C-alpha cells in the first residue's frame, strides 16, 4: 500500500512539471462597450486544448464574447454580463493533465446618461414661490462621475448655488420666479462625458406676473370674411391687454380702424378682412410686476393658384408606375387627392393613392383613361387632368411582303400594325432610314410607304419598324422592279449622215425580258442591200443619197409587246473650209479684205461674226455711204472704248471696296469650279478677269481653245456600243449615274468597270457645268483623283466615263464598317487607316487646288475607295435620290449645306478655303464612321446656326486630339485662319504611324 502511494505521488510530480502557464489572465481595467482580451498560454502547446470558466461555469462562445485561439476576446465589454471572475483551463489531451489559471476580473468603467427630475417637492404642482426646490441628476457611472449643472446653457457654480456632487443634486433654498429656466446636467469620469437626456423646466408662478390664458391662433380667411383673434391674460391685480398690427407703434386699442372691433374679453374682431388687414398681430399683456408678455398670430387671405390644365403619359403594361401630382401654391396648404370618373382613388389596392402620388401596381390595359388630380383649400378647388395610355405591343395587321412594282408608276409597301397608342412606323431602304424630307417617297400615317415613281434602282431590300413603348415589330420586303419596255436612250429623232461614209445608227432597249431590236423603213419598204442590222444597230457600209428618209426602230419582247421610235435620216456633205481667214495688217483708212470659202451639200451659207455678233454685210454703195459707214464705225468704237474704260474703273473700285471689307483673309486665287459658278480670285470674280483678258487677246485665245478642245475630244472619244450597263447607282443634277463595263478602254484590261455620268438635262448652265467637269478631270493627273477615261458625244445623252473603285463610295464603306448586322462581314477601321484615308483625300485636293480648281461638293459620298484602302477624289453627286437627305434646296439650288461654310451659303463665295472647310467635315465623317453631320439639327436649324456662327461638330469617339484640332482649324470663321491643303498634307504626314496617333 505504501508502495502504491509512492508511485501515485511520483505520477503527480511528473504531471506537475510536464507543462505550465507562460501567460495567465490578469485583472484589468475595461471600458463598457469597448473591446478587451484575457490572454492564456502554456509552455508546451502541443496537444493542449483550452477552455474558459466564468464564475466557475464553462463559458459558451457568442458574437460578443468568444475564445480566439487560447485567448478570450470581448468585442464589447458589458458591465453586467462580464462582472465576476474568469479562469483559463488548459488540458493535455494525451495524458489528461489539467492546469487552472489564476482568477482574473474586469474593473469595468462606465457612464450612463439619465434625466433631470424634481426631487423636492414631489410634484411640479406643489412648487411654490419662496419654498425650497431640489433637482436631481440621474447620470450614473463607475467610477462615480463628477457633475455640473447648467441653466439656459450657462454653467452654475457652487458659490451661487447649493450643489451636492455626491448626491448629484441642485437645491434652491427659496425659489423665486427669477430662478425660472431650463436646467440640465453633465457628468464625466474615466469612461467619458455625457449630458442629461431629458431636462427640467422650472416655472415658478408669480401671480403678479401676466400669464396667458387664451393664446391667439393664426388664421387664413376668405376676402371680406369675418376673423376673430382671441387673447386673454391673468394676473393679480388684473393685467392690461394691448393689440398691435405689424410694426405699428400705436396700439389698436388706442385707435380702432374701420371694421375692427375690440371686445370686452380681449378678442379682436375684424368684420370684413381686406388685404390691408393681413399680416402679424401682437397681443401684449402687462402686469404689475415682471416683463410684459407678447403673443403673435398671423391673419392671411386664402388663395390658390391654377394648375397645369392637362398632361399625358404612356406606360408599358405590367410595370410599376408612380405619378406625382404637384399641388398649386396656396394658403392654407391645399389638400390633394386623385379621382377617376368623379370618385376618389382609394389608399390601397392595385391602383391607389400614396400621399400625393398615384400608384399603379402594376399597370393594366384597363388603366388607360383620364385621372384627375384635385387640390382644394378654403380659396377654392383646382384640377389637373392626366390622360394615361397603357402601351400594348404592336400586332400585325398587314405585314410587309415581297412586291413586284412596275417601273414608272407609283409603288406601295404596307406596314400596318395595331397597338395602343398608334404605333410609330419607320421605313429603311438597305438599312438607311427613309426620311419625310426625301421627295421620292411618301410616308402615310397608317404605315404605308409610297415610292412616287418607281425606278430600276428601287429594286432593293426595304424594312419597316413599328413600335410603341410596349414593344416593337419589324418586317422586310424585297422589291423587284418590273422594268418597262423602253429605249436606252431614246434615238435622236433627226440625224444627219455624211455622204460616202460608214455610219452606224444606235438603238438599244431594255425591258422585263431582253427585247429584240430591229429596224424597218417607215413606209414598210425593204432596207437597201448595203444597210445591215447588227444587234439593233443600223449599219450603213457606205452612205448614199437614197439612204435619206424615215426609219423605224422597233423593240419587242413576248411579255410587253413592242415600242417604236421614228428616226428621220438626212444625207449631207459636211461643211469644210476651203479658204480660212488669215491675220491681216492694214493701214488706218485703207480697205481690208478677209477671205472665207466653204464647201458642203447643201451649199453652206457663210456669215461673219465680230465680238460674238453677226455682221450685217451690205453691197457697196456710193462713196458718201462709205464715209458715213466709217464715221459710224469710228463713233461706235470710241463709244465702246469709253464704256469699257468705265466698266474697268467701276470694277476696280468694287474690287478695292470688297478687299477692304474682307480685310486680310488672304483668299487664294482660283480659276475654275468643278460644279460651275463664278469663283472668287483676290476679291473679284473670275468672269471679270476673263473679260479683261478677252478685250486684249480675243482672237488668238478663241482659236487656240477651239483647236485644243477638238484634239482632246478626239483623243477621249469612246464608242458608246462598247459600254454595257451593270446597274444604275442613282441620279444627280446632270442625270443618271451608271455603273458600266467598258470594253478596251484600258490597254491592260479587256473589260473595265467604270463610272458613267450621263447628261440628260436641257438646262444650259448644267450643260456648261458638265463640260467644265469633264475638262477638269481631263486636265488632272494624280493617284488620288479619278481619271477621265472617255467621252461619248456623238449622240444624246452625252456620257462622261470616269474611273471606279471596287468598294464604291467612301460613305457606304464607313457605314458598313460600324454595322452591327451579322449578315454584313464588316471589319473595324483602325485609327491608322482613318488617318491614311484623310491624307489621301488631302493630297488629291492639294493637286486639284494647285491647278486652280474648286470642288464645291467635297464629302465622303464623293470619294471612292478600293479593297487596298486607296482613295480617290471623285464627283458622283447623287443629290436626287441616294444622298438626297444630304442636300438642301436654297435659293433655287441644291447645296450640300452641312459641308459648306457661311460665305459659300450666304454669299455664293466658293474658293479653296471653302473646300478646306468641307475637308474638315469629311475628316469628321471618317472618324464618326459616316454619321450625318449635325444629325440632331434639322436643315433649317443648321442654316440658322451657320448664320449665327454657332455651328460646331463634337469630337468623334476615339478621335485623337491632334486630328480634332486640325478639323477645328478647317472650320475657322476667318478664311485666313484656315490651313491650305499643302499644310494639311504636311500636318497629317507628321502624325506617328501607330494606330494610337
pLDDT classification of 500: cutoffs 50, 70, 90: confident
Among 347, 365, 391, give the residue marking a domain's end: 391
Do 789 and 861 belong together in one domain? yes
* Catalytic (active site) residue 152: no
Structurally, the chain folds into a number of domains equal to 7
Q: Per the annotation, does 803 bind a ligand?
A: yes
pLDDT score of 664:
41
Q: How far is CA 897 from the centre of its chain?
A: 19
pLDDT score of 149:
92
Instruction: Please state the pTM of the whole predicted model.
Output: 0.37
pLDDT score of 634:
64
Residue 642, in any domain of the structure: no
The answer to whether 180 touches 139, Cβ cutoff 8 Å, is no
For residue 568, pLDDT over 80 is answered with: yes
Burial (CB count <10 Å: 0-12, 13-18, 19+), residue 238: exposed
Do 81 and 185 belong together in one domain? no
Q: Per the annotation, does 670 bind a ligand?
A: no
Nearest alpha-carbon partner for 420 in 390, 388, 464:
390
Q: Per the annotation, does 936 bind a ligand?
A: no
Beta bridge partners of 57: 54
Nearest alpha-carbon partner for 107 in 178, 183, 190:
190
Three-class SS state of 588: coil
Dihedral sign for Cα atoms in the order 242, 244, 249, 255: negative
Check whether the bond before 797 is cis (ω within 30° of 0): yes
For residue 107, pLDDT over 80 is answered with: yes
The per-residue pLDDT for range 10-47, each reduced to its tens digit, is 344 444 547 899 999 999 999 998 999 999 999 888 88
The answer to whether 241 touches 215, Cβ cutoff 8 Å, is no
Q: Per the annotation, does 732 bind a ligand?
A: yes
| For the ranges 354-358, 626-630, 707-711, 914-918, the one whose mean pLDDT is highest | 914-918
Residue 655, in any domain of the structure: no
Q: Per the annotation, does 731 bind a ligand?
A: yes
Do 409 and 260 belong together in one domain? no
Mean pLDDT across the chain, nearest whole number? 84
Residue 786, in any domain of the structure: yes
Q: How far is CA 85 from the centre of its chain?
A: 74
The conformational region for residue 919 under phi > 0 = left, psi -120 to 50 = alpha, else beta, is: alpha
The grid coordinates of residue 986 equal 504636311
The per-residue pLDDT for range 532-545, each reduced to its tens digit, is 998 888 999 889 98
pLDDT score of 693:
29
Dihedral sign for Cα atoms in the order 816, 820, 824, 830: positive
Among 574, 592, 622, give the residue marking a domain's end: 574
Q: How many CA atoms lie within 13 A of 739 on its CB side?
A: 14
What mean pLDDT is predicted for residues 270-280? 92
pLDDT score of 580:
82
Residue range(s) defining the domain that contains residue 407: 395-482
Secondary structure E strands in 795-870? 798-803, 853-854, 863-865
What mean pLDDT is predicted for residues 685-700? 30
Catalytic residue among 857, 881, 909, 915: 857
- With cell 481595467, the residue in question is 29
Do 826 and 946 belong together in one domain? yes
What mean pLDDT is predicted for residues 344-349? 93
Among 109, 142, 163, give the residue marking a domain's end: 109
Helix H segments across 373-453?
none
At 727, which CATH number?
A: 1.10.510.10
pLDDT score of 397:
92
pLDDT score of 954:
93
Q: Per the annotation, does 862 bind a ligand?
A: yes
The per-residue pLDDT for range 229-264, each reduced to its tens digit, is 999 998 888 899 999 999 888 888 878 788 889 888
For residue 380, pLDDT over 80 is answered with: yes
Residue 610, in any domain of the structure: no
Q: Per the annotation, does 547 bind a ligand?
A: no
The answer to whether 441 touches 458, Cβ cutoff 8 Å, is no
Q: Per the annotation, does 736 bind a ligand?
A: yes
Residue 588, in any domain of the structure: no
pLDDT score of 591:
79
The answer to whether 835 touches 716, Cβ cutoff 8 Å, is no
pLDDT score of 633:
60
Do 196 and 261 belong together in one domain? no
The per-residue pLDDT for range 935-973, each reduced to its tens digit, is 999 999 999 999 888 888 999 998 999 999 999 999 998
Do 781 and 883 belong together in one domain? yes
Do 949 and 840 belong together in one domain? yes
Q: Per the annotation, does 524 bind a ligand?
A: no
* CB contact set of 948 (below 8 Å; sequence gap of 6+): none
Give long-range contacts, CB 8 A cutoff, 24+ apart: 938-943.
939/437, 939/888, 939/897, 942/888, 942/897, 942/898, 943/888, 943/890, 943/897, 943/905
Q: In whole angstroms, what is the distance from residue 808 CA to residue 571 CA?
A: 44
Do 160 and 226 belong together in one domain? no
pLDDT classification of 391: cutoffs 50, 70, 90: confident
Q: Per the annotation, does 861 bind a ligand?
A: yes
Q: In whole angstroms, what is the distance from residue 277 CA to residue 275 CA?
A: 5
Do 84 and 118 belong together in one domain? no
Do 761 and 903 belong together in one domain? yes
Q: In whole angstroms, what is the distance from residue 184 CA to residue 152 CA?
A: 8
Residue 855, in any domain of the structure: yes
- With cell 487646288, the residue in question is 849
Nearest alpha-carbon partner for 553 in 571, 575, 569:
569
Q: In whole angstroms, what is the distance from residue 901 CA to residue 912 CA?
A: 12
Nearest alpha-carbon partner for 918 in 904, 931, 938:
904
Q: In whole angstroms, what is the distance from residue 907 CA to residue 891 CA?
A: 11
Residue 612, in any domain of the structure: no
* CB contact set of 499 (below 8 Å; sequence gap of 6+): 543, 544, 545, 571, 572, 573, 601
Q: Per the annotation, does 807 bind a ligand?
A: yes
Residue 585, in any domain of the structure: no
At 51, which CATH number?
A: 2.60.40.10
pLDDT score of 846:
94
The per-residue pLDDT for range 726-785, each reduced to its tens digit, is 888 888 888 899 899 999 888 888 888 999 999 988 888 888 888 888 888 888 899 999
Do 736 and 756 belong together in one domain? yes
Do 758 and 827 belong together in one domain? yes
The answer to whether 851 touches 790, Cβ cutoff 8 Å, is no
Amino acid at each position: 500500500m505504501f508502495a502504491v502511494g509512492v508511485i501515485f505521488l511520483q505520477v503527480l510530480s511528473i504531471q506537475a512539471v510536464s507543462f505550465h502557464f507562460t501567460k495567465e489572465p490578469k485583472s484589468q481595467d475595461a471600458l463598457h462597450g469597448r473591446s478587451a482580451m484575457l490572454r492564456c498560454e502554456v509552455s508546451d502547446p502541443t496537444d493542449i486544448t483550452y477552455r474558459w470558466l466564468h464564475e466557475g461555469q464553462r463559458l459558451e462562445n457568442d458574437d460578443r464574447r468568444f475564445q480566439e485561439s487560447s485567448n478570450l476576446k470581448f468585442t464589447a465589454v458589458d458591465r453586467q454580463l462580464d462582472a465576476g471572475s474568469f479562469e483559463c483551463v488548459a488540458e493535455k489531451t494525451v495524458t489528461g493533465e489539467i492546469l487552472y489559471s489564476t482568477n482574473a476580473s474586469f474593473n469595468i468603467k462606465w457612464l450612463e446618461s439619465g434625466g433631470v427630475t424634481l426631487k423636492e417637492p414631489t410634484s411640479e404642482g406643489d412648487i411654490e414661490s419662496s419654498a425650497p426646490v431640489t433637482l436631481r441628476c440621474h447620470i450614473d457611472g463607475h467610477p462615480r462621475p463628477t457633475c455640473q449643472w447648467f441653466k439656459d446653457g450657462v454653467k452654475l457654480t457652487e458659490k451661487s448655488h447649493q450643489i451636492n456632487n455626491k448626491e448629484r443634486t441642485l437645491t434652491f433654498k427659496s425659489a423665486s420666479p427669477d430662478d425660472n429656466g431650463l436646467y440640465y446636467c453633465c457628468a464625466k469620469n474615466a469612461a467619458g462625458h455625457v449630458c442629461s437626456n431629458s431636462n427640467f423646466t422650472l416655472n415658478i408662478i408669480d401671480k403678479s406676473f401676466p400669464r396667458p390664458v387664451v393664446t391667439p391662433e393664426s388664421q387664413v380667411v376668405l376676402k371680406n370674411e369675418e376673423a376673430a383673434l382671441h387673447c386673454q391674460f391673468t394676473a393679480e391685480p388684473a393685467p392690461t391687454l394691448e393689440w398691435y398690427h405689424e410694426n405699428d407703434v400705436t396700439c389698436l386699442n388706442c385707435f380702432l380702424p374701420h371694421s375692427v372691433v375690440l371686445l370686452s374679453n380681449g378678442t379682436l374682431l375684424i368684420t370684413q378682412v381686406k388685404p390691408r388687414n393681413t399680416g402679424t398681430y401682437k397681443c401684449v399683456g402687462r402686469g404689475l410686476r415682471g416683463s410684459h408678455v407678447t403673443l403673435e398670430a398671423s391673419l392671411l387671405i386664402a388663395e390658390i393658384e391654377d394648375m397645369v390644365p392637362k398632361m399625358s403619359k404612356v406606360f408599358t403594361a405590367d410595370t410599376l408606375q408612380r405619378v406625382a401630382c404637384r399641388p398649386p401654391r396656396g394658403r392654407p396648404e391645399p389638400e390633394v387627392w386623385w379621382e377617376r370618373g368623379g370618385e376618389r382613388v382609394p389608399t390601397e389596392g392595385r391602383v391607389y393613392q400614396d400621399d400625393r402620388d398615384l400608384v399603379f401596381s402594376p399597370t393594366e390595359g384597363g388603366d388607360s383613361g383620364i385621372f384627375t388630380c384635385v387640390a382644394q383649400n378654403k380659396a377654392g378647388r383646382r384640377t389637373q387632368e392626366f390622360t394615361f395610355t397603357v402601351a400594348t405591343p404592336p400586332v400585325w395587321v398587314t405585314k410587309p411582303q415581297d412586291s413586284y412594282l412596275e417601273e414608272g408608276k407609283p409603288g406601295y409597301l404596307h406596314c400596318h400594325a395595331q397597338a395602343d397608342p398608334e404605333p410609330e412606323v419607320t421605313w429603311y431602304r438597305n438599312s438607311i432610314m427613309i426620311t419625310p424630307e426625301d421627295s421620292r417617297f411618301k410616308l402615310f400615317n397608317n404605315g404605308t410607304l409610297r415610292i412616287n415613281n418607281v425606278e430600276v434602282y428601287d429594286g432593293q431590300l426595304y424594312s419597316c419598324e413599328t413600335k410603341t413603348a410596349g414593344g416593337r415589330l419589324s418586317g422586310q420586303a424585297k422589291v423587284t422592279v418590273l422594268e418597262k419596255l423602253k429605249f436606252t436612250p431614246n434615238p435622236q429623232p433627226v440625224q444627219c449622215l455624211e455622204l460616202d461614209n460608214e455610219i452606224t445608227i444606235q438603238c438599244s432597249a431594255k425591258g422585263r425580258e431582253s427585247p429584240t431590236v430591229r429596224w424597218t423603213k417607215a413606209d414598210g419598204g425593204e432596207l437597201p442591200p448595203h444597210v445591215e442590222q447588227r444587234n439593233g444597230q443600223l449599219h450603213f457600209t457606205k452612205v448614199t443619197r437614197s439612204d435619206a428618209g424615215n426609219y423605224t426602230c422597233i423593240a419587242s419582247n413576248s411579255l410587253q409587246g413592242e415600242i417604236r421610235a421614228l428616226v428621220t435620216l438626212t444625207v449631207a456633205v459636211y461643211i469644210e473650209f476651203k479658204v480660212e481667214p488669215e491675220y491681216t495688217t492694214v493701214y488706218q483708212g485703207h480697205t481690208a479684205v478677209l477671205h472665207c470659202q466653204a464647201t458642203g451639200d447643201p451649199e453652206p451659207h457663210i456669215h461673219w461674226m465680230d465680238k460674238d455678233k453677226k455682221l450685217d454685210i451690205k453691197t457697196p454703195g456710193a462713196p458718201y455711204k462709205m464715209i458715213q459707214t466709217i464715221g459710224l464705225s469710228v463713233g461706235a468704237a470710241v463709244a465702246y472704248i469709253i464704256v469699257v474704260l468705265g466698266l474697268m474703273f467701276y470694277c476696280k473700285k468694287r474690287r478695292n471696296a470688297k478687299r477692304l471689307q474682307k480685310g486680310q483673309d488672304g483668299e487664294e486665287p482660283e480659276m475654275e469650279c468643278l460644279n460651275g459658278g463664278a469663283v472668287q480670285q483676290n476679291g473679284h470674280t473670275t468672269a471679270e478677269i476673263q473679260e479683261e483678258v478677252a478685250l486684249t487677246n480675243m482672237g488668238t485665245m478663241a482659236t487656240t481653245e477651239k483647236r485644243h478642245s477638238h484634239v482632246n475630244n478626239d483623243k477621249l472619244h469612246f464608242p458608246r456600243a462598247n459600254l454595257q450597263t451593270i446597274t444604275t447607282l442613282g441620279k444627280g443634277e446632270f442625270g443618271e449615274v451608271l455603273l458600266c463595263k467598258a470594253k478596251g478602254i484600258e490597254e491592260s484590261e479587256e473589260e473595265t468597270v467604270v463610272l458613267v455620268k450621263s447628261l440628260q438635262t436641257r438646262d444650259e448652265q448644267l450643260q456648261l457645268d458638265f463640260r467644265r467637269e469633264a475638262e477638269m478631270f481631263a486636265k488632272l493627273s494624280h493617284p488620288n483623283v479619278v481619271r477621265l477615261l472617255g467621252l461619248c458625244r456623238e449622240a444624246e445623252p452625252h456620257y462622261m466615263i470616269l474611273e471606279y473603285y471596287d468598294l464604291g463610295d467612301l460613305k457606304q464603306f464607313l457605314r458598313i464598317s460600324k454595322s452591327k448586322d451579322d449578315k454584313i462581314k464588316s471589319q473595324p477601321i483602325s485609327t491608322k487607316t482613318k488617318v491614311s484615308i484623310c491624307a489621301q483625300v488631302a493630297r488629291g485636293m492639294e493637286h486639284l487646288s494647285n491647278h486652280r480648281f474648286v470642288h464645291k461638293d467635297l464629302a465622303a459620298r464623293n470619294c471612292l475607295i478600293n479593297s487596298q484602302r486607296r482613295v480617290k477624289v471623285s464627283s458622283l453627286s447623287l443629290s436626287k435620290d441616294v444622298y438626297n437627305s444630304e442636300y438642301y434646296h436654297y435659293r433655287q439650288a441644291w447645296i450640300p449645306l452641312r459641308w459648306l461654310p457661311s460665305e459659300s451659303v450666304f454669299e455664293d463665295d466658293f474658293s479653296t478655303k471653302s473646300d478646306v472647310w468641307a475637308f474638315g467635315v469629311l475628316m469628321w465623317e471618317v472618324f464618326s464612321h459616316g454619321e450625318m453631320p449635325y444629325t440632331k439639327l434639322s436643315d433649317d436649324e443648321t442654316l440658322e446656326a451657320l448664320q449665327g456662327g454657332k455651328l460646331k461638330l463634337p469630337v468623334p469617339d476615339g478621335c485623337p486630339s491632334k486630328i480634332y484640332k486640325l478639323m477645328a482649324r478647317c472650320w475657322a470663321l476667318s478664311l485666313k485662319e484656315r490651313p491650305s491643303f499643302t499644310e494639311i498634307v504636311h500636318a497629317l504626314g507628321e502624325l506617328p504611324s501607330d494606330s494610337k496617333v
